[in-house]
Amino acid sequence: MAEETVDVSNEKRQTVIVTGGNSGIGYECAKAIARSGRSVLIASRNREASRGAIAGIEHEAGPGAATERALDLGSLQSVRAFVRQVEAEDIRPTAIVCNAGVQFFNGPKLSTEGHELSFAVNHLGHFLLVNLLLRRLAETAAPRIVVVASGVHDPARRTGMPKPSVGTLETLAATGGDDPKTFNGRLAYVNSKLCNLWFTYELDRRLRSSAPPSSLGKITANGFDPGLVPGSNLGRDYPPVLRFVWHRVLPGLARLLSPVLPGINPAPKSGAALARLVTDPMLEGVSGKYFPSHSRWSAAPSSDFSYDSERASALWAFSTRLVGLDPSDSPLATRDK
């Protein structure tokens, strides 16, 4: 059955922020959200690609279905500038999809503030973005936060990637791994995806413990695993041969194999599943869950390591210090004072 597009041209649309919503599963997610009658705000540093994505989204969902604003998650100043613009325009998002991600073969590459870039973009920028927008989210009816993680965080699964290995948090922020002198881009990516789930679960715990009359408790936070999605921008730093296979060969195989291998998926399928965590009324109030591709995006346990509440709490406190978060920024900042 064809997916129905909701006509809300004469109504005020709810706004959903999607980081990296101009390509890959982020773009497919944005299209599906827009077709549900919501407005999508694409947050990305590549504004030309974002404008092209808006044209595609509005072709399917109508005028006003999407807008874009500049956001470089590798710069904490850019994150704060993005939020100031959201506040100046009085945008009150009903959901944030923390989708943008990077993976590097060569490096380490560093963020504006000097942190290893996959850790900075995949975790730290999203950590700051969500915290800065919590008060605005809490003003809406049924606010949701979705963090795109990955099955590679789970050492029990055969993914072809290194097993997660986190030394000190200081080393993680410097090299993405467990060795202060050695960079392994694939390990840095894996560890950042583990951080995504530590952040999600710690955020859920803190939201749930917010005392009345705080409205933070109605915000939900869930993790999502898109599976292997060939053709995405995660392959931008691959060597030439691997880049060709990633972009030209594997996407066709994904379309053929996805019906029988739920761990490998074309972007439209994963993007639609991601959008469901924002739009499905049956998931209202569901929080602290993980929706992986291997369970066909039904809630399922993540790795044992991802439920380490002590490490998650330590990462939260460490991230709070790195981004300079204080009570004027976030209602959850006071918990680490």
Which pLDDT score, from 0 to 100, does residue 5 have? 47
Asked whether residue 202 is domain-assigned, the answer is: yes
Among residues 27, 189, 201, 290, which one is catalytic?
Answer: 189
Which pLDDT score, from 0 to 100, does residue 227 have? 87
Which pLDDT score, from 0 to 100, does residue 263 have? 72
* Two structure tokens written together for 273: 């599943």
Q: Distance of alpha carbon 188 from its chain centroid, rounded?
A: 16
Domain residues for the domain of 51 are 15-336
Which pLDDT score, from 0 to 100, does residue 334 have? 65
Q: How far apart are CA 254 and CA 261, in angstroms?
A: 9
Q: How far apart are CA 186 and CA 280, in angstroms?
A: 33
Q: Is there a contact between 192 and 215 (Cβ–Cβ < 8 Å)?
A: no
H or E, element range at 290: strand 290-291
Asked whether residue 330 is domain-assigned, the answer is: yes
Q: Are strands 144-148 and 95-98 parallel, antiparallel or unpaired?
A: parallel
Q: How many CB atoms lie within 10 A of CB 138?
A: 18
Number of H helices, E strands in the chain: 11, 7
66-70 β-sheet, strand order: 66-70, 39-44, 15-19, 95-98, 144-148, 220-224, 290-291
**∠136-137-140 over CA atoms, to 5°?**
100
Which pLDDT score, from 0 to 100, does residue 7 have? 45
Q: Side chain identity at 217, as an amino acid letter?
A: G
Q: How far apart are CA 248 and CA 51, in angstroms?
A: 24
Taking only the tens place, the pLDDT of each residue in 118-171 is: 999 999 999 999 999 999 999 999 999 999 999 999 999 988 889 999 999 999
> Can you tell me whether residue 15 is helix, strand or coil?
strand
Which pLDDT score, from 0 to 100, does residue 210 have? 83
Q: Does position 57 have pLDDT exceeding 60, yes or no? A: yes
Asked whether residue 9 is domain-assigned, the answer is: no
CATH code (residue 247): 3.40.50.720
Total count of domains within the chain = 1
Asked whether residue 122 is domain-assigned, the answer is: yes
Residue-wise DSSP of 135-167: HHHHTSSS-EEEEE--GGG-TTS--SSPPP---
* Two structure tokens written together for 286: 């569901």
Half-sphere exposure of 70 (CA within 13 A, CB side): 9
Asked whether residue 53 is domain-assigned, the answer is: yes
In this prediction the pTM is: 0.91
Q: Is there a contact between 43 and 18 (Cβ–Cβ < 8 Å)?
A: yes
Q: Is 290 a catalytic residue?
A: no
Q: Side chain identity at 69, as an amino acid letter?
A: R
Which pLDDT score, from 0 to 100, does residue 3 have? 46
Of 228-242, 289-303, 310-324, the poorest mean pLDDT is in 228-242
Asked whether residue 7 is domain-assigned, the answer is: no
pLDDT bin (cut points 50, 70, 90) of residue 38 is very high
Q: Is there a contact between 142 and 210 (Cβ–Cβ < 8 Å)?
A: no
Q: Does position 256 have pLDDT exceeding 90, yes or no? A: no
Asked whether residue 218 is domain-assigned, the answer is: yes
Q: Does position 252 have pLDDT exceeding 80, yes or no? A: no
Of 108-122, 201-215, 237-251, 299-313, the poorest mean pLDDT is in 237-251
Taking only the tens place, the pLDDT of each residue in 215-248 is: 999 999 999 999 877 656 665 666 665 555 545 5
Asked whether residue 1 is domain-assigned, the answer is: no
| Residue 110 β-bridge partners | 116
Q: Is there a contact between 119 and 176 (Cβ–Cβ < 8 Å)?
A: yes
Q: Side chain identity at 222, as an amino acid letter?
A: N
What does the mean pLDDT of the chain come to? 89
Region of residue 154 (phi > 0: left; psi between -120 and 50: alpha; otherwise: beta): beta
Q: Is the dihedral of CA 271, 277, 278, 282 positive or negative?
A: positive
Q: Is the dihedral of CA 248, 251, 257, 262 positive or negative?
A: positive
Q: Are strands 39-44 and 66-70 parallel, antiparallel or unpaired?
A: parallel
| Residue 95 β-bridge partners | 16, 144
Residue ranges of E strands in 71-209: 95-98, 144-148
